[in-house]
């Protein structure tokens, strides 16, 4: 059986577009996914224009969004859609019937447990020849939504206002959602296939018609008289949608022309590894990873455009007074390609998943927050060993990057020329470190990962661990001697002033991530 025939056999979705699959040379699951997303784009425009809050009730908007989402699942995945529908139904029962003090724990265990079981079964179904758009993708998105909603519900119904951060207060849910609201949030056609995950309150505001008006109120100059906020017309997302569709076209062209000519598996080809120089192997690894990104850029940018076309994703007005439609954006391509630190790259890649990890893990963990967050991310992605190699490798690299930046950056910021040189060097180091880190994520297997790391002489592991250890010892605070203990502060106000002078404040950007 050929690879294409094998892929068709494993595809459980609709076979109507099989001739199109053969004509384009794409797998049937990819064609079904693309067809649904293009139909979703058209449906989104119709949803915004003809089912706007002025023309339809929230109940109708919820129902239509849910039914279209379920139809997409059935078209793409057939009976495998029952996995997604089942986990949504079970978790709705939990948030209605379970003890509200523990609902977030129950939802996390149930959703992540079911997702992990499906990941395990997926390995047996597809082995390492996984399809690019199998049922686990929507299940991963639904898991994010289920668990984030449960944590926000727990915050809103169990915690006092003073126990919450400003960000948590904004997204806290104080009333259990109805069935149609819950189904619509988890299964709506805008995000059911590829996301992104957004918080429940923003989605409900969008359905009820308050999504844009609330943000316009935050921007000075939009008021037109006493009732100006109500009279201000909603900004059109058309420019944002067209711009993102152009990006999608560029990514698709790049994928068809460039990506296929630089296969990831060539990095572990026996002849290439045995005969090419280290510099040649490093160069090919860099460009093959660069070439692998556009398929993610395409899927996430198209999903963003679909949400915008429906009128969802309005963030507010930018500094020049133009509407910004990046509330649910999942990536910042310019930020990714110009990242000069490991953290900057992560902050601009899969943004909504980063917000979810921060919400359910990083902000909640009492200790070992970084390690626990990376482990949860690996578990969420699946059970292939390559995922764990990637996220475990990221831990020492992140620690080392922080330590190096803290130790040397201040020497280069005084001069524009030195700063430029520093940015160039850190950009190259960041891109090579990312390449080294994510390669196992794409290779998947232990055998291929070890072959690749051996061909790279484990150099990033060695450098990052040494840097983290050495610089940690350098910056380790000294214990005060018995004869030189610090005197107590004169007053609480002077202590606060000292703290303000020594500590950098933590700010939250527009996407809710910590800078």
User: Which residues are annotated as catalytic?
Assistant: 350, 381
What the block records as the tokens of 499 is: 């703290």
Do residues 381 and 357 make contact, with C-beta atoms less than 8 angstroms apart? no
Task: Give 331's strand partners.
Answer: 349
Collapsing DSSP to helix, strand or coil, 323 comes out as strand
Helix %, strand %, coil % of the chain (to 5):
70, 0, 30
Q: How distant, in Å, are the alpha carbons of 139, 268, 317, 378, 401 from that of 382?
A: 11, 22, 38, 6, 26
Q: How distant, in Å, are the alpha carbons of 12, 250, 327, 449 from that of 197?
A: 25, 25, 11, 30
Do residues 313 and 307 make contact, with C-beta atoms less than 8 angstroms apart? yes
Residue with structure tokens 């107590």?
Answer: 488
List phi, psi (to 5°) of 456: -95, 5
Q: Give the integer Cα–Cα distance in Å for 57 and 181.
A: 13
What the block records as the tokens of 259 is: 């990506």
Which of these, 373, 334, 326, lies nearest to 511 by C-alpha position? 326
Q: Give the integer Cα–Cα distance in Å for 347 and 335.
A: 9
Which of these, 381, 359, 37, 41, lies nearest to 201 by C-alpha position? 359
* DSSP symbols for 138-169: HHHHHHHHHHHHHHHHHHHHHS-GGGS-HHHH
Do residues 461 and 392 make contact, with C-beta atoms less than 8 angstroms apart? no
Torsion of CA 392, 352, 350, 29, to 10 degrees: 110
What the block records as the tokens of 3 is: 């690879």
Q: Give the integer Cα–Cα distance in Å for 482 and 290.
A: 56
Q: Give the integer Cα–Cα distance in Å for 360 and 508.
A: 16
């Amino acid at each position: 059986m050929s690879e294409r025939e094998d892929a068709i056999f494993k595809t459980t979705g609709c076979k109507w577009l099989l001739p199109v699959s053969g004509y384009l040379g794409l797998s049937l699951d990819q064609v079904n996914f693309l067809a649904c997303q293009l139909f979703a784009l058209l449906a989104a425009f119709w949803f915004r224009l003809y089912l706007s809050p002025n023309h339809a009730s929230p109940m109708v908007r919820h129902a239509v969004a849910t039914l279209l989402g379920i139809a997409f699942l059935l078209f793409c995945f057939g009976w495998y859609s029952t996995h997604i529908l089942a986990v949504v139904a079970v978790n709705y029962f939990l948030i209605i019937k379970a003890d509200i003090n523990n609902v977030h724990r129950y939802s996390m265990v149930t959703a992540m447990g079911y997702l992990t079981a499906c990941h395990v079964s997926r390995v047996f179904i597809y082995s390492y020849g996984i399809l690019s758009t199998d049922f686990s993708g929507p299940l991963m998105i639904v898991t994010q939504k289920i668990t984030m909603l449960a944590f926000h519900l727990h915050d809103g119904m169990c915690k006092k206002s003073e126990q919450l951060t400003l960000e948590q207060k904004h997204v806290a849910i104080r009333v259990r959602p109805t069935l149609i609201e819950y189904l619509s949030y988890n299964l709506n056609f805008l995000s059911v296939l590829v996301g992104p995950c957004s918080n429940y309150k923003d989605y409900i505001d969008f359905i009820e018609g308050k999504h844009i008006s609330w943000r316009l109120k935050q921007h000075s100059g939009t008021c037109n008289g006493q009732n100006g906020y109500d009279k201000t017309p909603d900004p059109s997302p058309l420019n944002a949608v067209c711009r993102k569709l152009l990006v999608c076209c560029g990514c698709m062209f790049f994928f068809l022309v460039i990506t296929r000519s630089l296969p990831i598996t060539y990095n572990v080809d026996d002849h290439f590894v045995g005969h090419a120089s280290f510099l040649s192997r490093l160069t090919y690894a860099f460009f093959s990873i660069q070439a692998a990104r556009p398929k993610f850029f395409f899927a996430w940018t198209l999903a963003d455009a679909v949400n915008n076309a429906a009128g969802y994703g309005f963030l507010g007005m930018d500094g020049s007074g133009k509407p910004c439609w990046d509330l649910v954006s999942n990536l910042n391509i310019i930020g990714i390609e110009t990242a000069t630190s490991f953290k900057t790259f992560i902050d601009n890649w899969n943004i909504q998943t980063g917000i979810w990890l921060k919400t359910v893990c990083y902000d909640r963990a009492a200790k070992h927050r970084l390690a626990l967050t990376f482990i949860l991310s690996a578990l969420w992605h699946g059970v292939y060993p390559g995922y764990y190699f990637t996220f475990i490798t990221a831990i020492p690299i992140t620690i080392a990057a922080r330590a190096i930046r803290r130790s040397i950056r201040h020497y280069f910021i005084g001069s524009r020329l030195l700063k430029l040189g520093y940015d160039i060097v850190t950009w190259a180091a960041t891109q090579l470190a990312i390449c080294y880190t994510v390669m196992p994520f794409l290779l998947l297997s232990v055998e291929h990962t070890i072959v690749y790391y051996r061909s790279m002489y484990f150099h990033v592991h060695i450098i990052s661990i040494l840097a983290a250890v050495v610089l940690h010892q350098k910056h380790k605070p000294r214990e005060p001697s018995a004869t030189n203990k610090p005197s107590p502060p004169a007053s609480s106000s002077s202590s606060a002033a000292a703290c303000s002078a020594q500590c950098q404040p933590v700010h939250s950007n527009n996407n809710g991530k910590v800078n």
